[in-house]
A = this chain, B = another copy of it.
């Protein structure tokens, strides 16, 4: 096992947004872009991450895998040759800014272009915490259903990007991409929506291009 496993602790009394702002300015100075990747259990966060890492060849990438327990995802991502740290939340269903700062310290973002935080699988709590990311990317997968923006609105409100994953399985499920998109845009008109399939790789080129653009911009302004 070639990645550290860290138990991160929430900082109940700290002002989350102040810690997040500090992280953001620190990463900006270091020329690093941080992406907060969120979604339900099984939405395809890790497999989407693997697709993006492959497409972002040439960028120096680090990954923080947050989990209540286990290191299943860190193992998978580490096997792909990426710098990884596994974060255990000790039962908590989300990452806050302080926990993310602890994770970044363990990972060491210096010299990286892009860091992904794979948040705990959950459509509720992770949406409530600004962790200091430059981009909030959420994944809705086809089998979850197109009504999810109605039921978990905050996640769709706070996300900059929404991947609609498992599009290859769309024929099997009664999923209406147009309805899901409209529901998400009603909550968040600026949300960028990308239909993808981590299984086939479909649609990830555009997401990778977006991330490359963010990294190029960060380097210029860093």
Determine the distance from Cα of A67 to Cα of B152 in the docked complex, in whole angstroms: 8
Given A40-B40, A143-B143, A154-B68, residue A124 in contact with residue B128 (CB < 8 A): no
A3 at the interface (CB under 8 A from B): no
Determine the distance from Cα of A53 to Cα of B172 in the docked complex, in whole angstroms: 25
CB neighbours (8 Å) of A124 from chain B are 68, 91-93, 120-122, 125
Contact A67 B151 (CB under 8 A): yes
Given A151-B68, A173-B169, residue A93 in contact with residue B93 (CB < 8 A): yes
CB neighbours (8 Å) of A154 from chain B are 68-69, 91
Given A143-B141, A143-B166, A169-B172, residue A121 in contact with residue B68 (CB < 8 A): no
Determine the distance from Cα of A142 to Cα of B166 in the docked complex, in whole angstroms: 13
Contact A123 B125 (CB under 8 A): no
Shortest Cβ distance from A2 into chain B, in angstroms?
20
CB neighbours (8 Å) of A122 from chain B are 93, 122-124
A144 at the interface (CB under 8 A from B): yes
Q: Which secondary structure dominates where chain A touches chain B?
A: loop
Determine the distance from Cα of A37 to Cα of B73 in the docked complex, in whole angstroms: 27
Within 167-211 of A, Cβ neighbours of B (below 8 Å) are at: 169, 172-173
CB neighbours (8 Å) of A70 from chain B are 150-151, 153
Size of interface on A: residues with Cβ below 8 Å to B: 35
A222 at the interface (CB under 8 A from B): no
Within 120-172 of A, Cβ neighbours of B (below 8 Å) are at: 120-125, 128, 141-145, 147-148, 150-154, 166, 169, 172
Within 49-74 of A, Cβ neighbours of B (below 8 Å) are at: 67-70, 72-73
Contact A42 B125 (CB under 8 A): no
A41 at the interface (CB under 8 A from B): yes
CB neighbours (8 Å) of A72 from chain B are 147, 150-151
From the candidates B68, B142, B173, name the one contacting A152 in the complex (CB within 8 A): B68
A-B contact pairs, 7 of them (CB 8 A): A40-B121, A41-B151, A41-B152, A68-B124, A91-B154, A169-B172, A169-B173
